[in-house]
Amino acid sequence: MEGGTVTVIDFEGNPVGADLSDYERLPTSDRDAYQADLYGPDTATESAVLSDGTEVEWIVDGCVGEANRVLFPDGMFDFLEQRTHATGGADDGWLDDHRVREVHGRWSECMAQQGYLDFDIPWDAVTAMSSRQPSPEEGPEAQEAFAELNVAQAVADLACHERYDVQAVQEEVFWEYTMDYLTDYEVAVVAFADTAESVLETAQRIIQAGRLPA
């Protein structure tokens, strides 16, 4: 059989089994046919640039393309543009607020005192963990060392968070900015919520019927 498998490993890198989905059990020829039906033989797409400068792309062929036309009768562009007006500025500014910058600076100094010199903001600690992830081929010793490093870093991170109430400050500022945004863009937010609810209701009817409408 040409179908693929996914090997499942434990935290130390030891193989503990194989996970074969129905799709992965199929021969390659059947999987190729499935992909062609799903996205079309050439995976045809359309693209556009939204008013905020974001480049977007969507499938227009195959079952996905047909579903897009049913779910978004006014076109994907109109839906994505409406979403941009409703949500495009929701996160603007709060990370640059002086209160957040100040607490992140204290957190960074706290982490540096414990040997973590390259972390300016808490997200740096997350990306550092990801960048250290060893491959399964490196074996259990590498996995064990990775686990020990992550535990030590997590303990330091938690201690610094708690010392300066980092999470509380971030949440307070985030929701302050979010509420200001919702007040300024209430009409756009409500309009997009109505559209999204309509799309969801259509999708649920399709799922219940088991087919797209004729």
| Pair of tokens at residue 202 | 């259509």
CA distance 91 to 57: 23
CA distance 37 to 96: 46
Model pLDDT, residue 19: 53
- Give tens-digit pLDDT for 168-201: 999 999 999 888 888 878 888 889 999 999 999 9
- Which range (18-32, 134-148, 163-177) has the least confidence? 18-32
pLDDT surpasses 60 at 17: no
- Which range (58-62, 130-134, 162-166) has the least confidence? 130-134
Q: What's the mean pLDDT in 152-174?
A: 96
pLDDT surpasses 70 at 21: no
Picking from 32, 84, 40, the residue whose alpha carbon sits closest to that of residue 192 is 84
Q: Is 119 exposed, middle or buried (0-12, 13-18, 19+ CB in 10 A)?
A: buried
Helical segments of the chain, H only: 22-25, 28-39, 62-71, 76-87, 98-113, 122-131, 139-164, 166-184, 186-209
Picking from 110, 154, 105, 100, the residue whose alpha carbon sits closest to that of residue 128 is 154
Domain boundaries defined on the chain: 1-39, 42-83+185-214, 94-179
- Which range (84-88, 89-93, 131-135) has the least confidence? 89-93
pLDDT surpasses 50 at 203: yes
Please give the residue that has the higher pLDDT: either 26 or 90.
26
DSSP 17: E
DSSP 213: -
| Pair of tokens at residue 91 | 């996160």
In this structure, are strands 6-9 and 45-49 parallel, antiparallel, or unpaired?
unpaired
Picking from 156, 52, 147, the residue whose alpha carbon sits closest to that of residue 107 is 156
Quote the percentage of the chain above a pLDDT of 90: 51
Model pLDDT, residue 189: 86
